[in-house]
């Protein structure tokens, strides 16, 4: 199946610093990528939809100035958590939509564990 | 009413038995339906996709879709301990901007 790579797998940062997470579709072009956050024992929560070449669409309650999303190419989207705080510690997962030839199936990256200390 | 609903479980199944998972959704305009498996601390992994009414089989997994009743189910035959995980139902709706909406997941425990 299609492969979506996410990097880094885990990161520890100091409170107040910024962290960038990359999401790449390795064998298909993804015009749309999605960013999720998942707290322990909870379901996936969609944060934003990232469209190549345009601004991301954020879900209600998600601060666009804190979670910066850049979808610079058809295979790369990045999420930057700015001025991170301990409450931002979570499992961040990206996904990418394959084309109509694949039924618009959405594939997930491996996820990134963020710990803010 | 949640957009996609699942019983949270845990669903306890003896090894070798059939695990039956259900999912209901509220948006009648939903087009695509997916089942993902998520192990603790890991990212979701696609198991099945289904787009039209009826059954779709893939190995030990069978997905069933009934758009009139707005439910989709997943059967796991010959359940193995390695099938113990949380199973997420996801629905893709054009009305929701082609976003994937997830249910809360059903935790499955397969006991040897």
CB atoms within 10 A of CB B82: 8
pLDDT bracket for residue A35 (50, 70, 90): very high
Residue % of chain A over a pLDDT of 90: 69
**How confident is the model over A20-27, as a mean pLDDT?**
94
d(CA A113, CA B81): 26
Report whether pLDDT(A104) > 80: no
Beta bridge partners of B49: B34
pLDDT bracket for residue A2 (50, 70, 90): low
For CA atoms A89, B102, B27, B32, give the dihedral sign: positive
d(CA A50, CA A35): 8
Most confident of A42-46, A50-54, B60-64: B60-64
Query: Which of A3, A59, A102, A108 is most worth mutating to test chain B (most B CB atoms within 10 A of its CB)?
Result: A108
Beta carbons of A108 and B46 less than 8 Å apart: yes
pLDDT bracket for residue A97 (50, 70, 90): confident
User: What pLDDT was estimated at residue A72?
Assistant: 83
Beta carbons of A108 and B44 less than 8 Å apart: yes
Beta carbons of B97 and A108 less than 8 Å apart: no
Contact between B33 and B72 under an 8 Å Cβ cutoff? The reply is: yes
User: What pLDDT was estimated at residue A106?
Assistant: 84
**How confident is the model over A97-112, as a mean pLDDT?**
81
Contact between B20 and B106 under an 8 Å Cβ cutoff? The reply is: no
**Residue B105 distance to chain A (closest CA, Å):** 7
Contact between B78 and B16 under an 8 Å Cβ cutoff? The reply is: yes
Supply the mean pLDDT for chain A. Answer: 91
d(CA B11, CA B109): 6
Q: Give one word for B82, left, alpha or beta, with left for phi > 0 and alpha for psi -120 to 50.
A: alpha
Report whether pLDDT(A9) > 70: yes
Beta carbons of A110 and B43 less than 8 Å apart: yes
User: What pLDDT was estimated at residue A103?
Assistant: 65
Those residues of chain B that have pLDDT short of 50 are none
User: What pLDDT was estimated at residue B105?
Assistant: 94
Question: Which residues, including other chains, have CB under 8 Å from residue B59's CB and lie 6 or more apart?
Answer: none
User: What pLDDT was estimated at residue B59?
Assistant: 96
For CA atoms A19, A22, A97, A50, give the dihedral sign: positive
For the record, the structure tokens of A100 come out as 């109509």
**How confident is the model over A108-112, as a mean pLDDT?**
95
- For residue A111, give the nearest of B43, B88, B98 by CB distance: B43
């Amino acid at each position: 199946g299609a492969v979506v790579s996410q990097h880094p797998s885990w990161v520890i940062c100091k409170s107040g610093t910024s962290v960038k997470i990359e999401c790449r579709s390795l064998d298909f072009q993804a015009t749309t990528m999605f960013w999720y956050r998942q707290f322990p024992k909870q379901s996936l929560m969609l944060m934003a939809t990232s469209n190549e070449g345009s601004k991301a669409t954020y879900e209600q309650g998600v601060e666009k100035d804190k979670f910066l999303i850049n979808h610079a190419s058809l295979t790369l989207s990045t999420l930057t958590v700015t001025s991170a705080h301990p409450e931002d510690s979570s499992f961040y997962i990206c996904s990418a939509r394959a084309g109509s030839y694949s039924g618009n199936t959405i594939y997930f990256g491996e996820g990134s564990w963020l710990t803010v200390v | 009413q949640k957009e996609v609903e699942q019983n949270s479980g845990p669903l306890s199944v003896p090894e070798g038995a059939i695990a039956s998972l259900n999912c209901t959704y509220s948006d009648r305009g939903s087009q695509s339906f997916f089942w993902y498996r998520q192990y603790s601390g890991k990212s979701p992994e696609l198991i099945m996709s289904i787009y039209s009414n009826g059954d779709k089989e893939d190995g030990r997994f069978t997905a069933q879709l009934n758009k009139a009743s707005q439910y989709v189910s997943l059967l796991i035959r010959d359940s193995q301990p390695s099938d113990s995980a949380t199973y997420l139902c996801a629905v893709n709706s054009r009305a929701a901007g082609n976003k994937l909406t997830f249910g809360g997941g059903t935790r499955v425990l397969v006991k040897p």
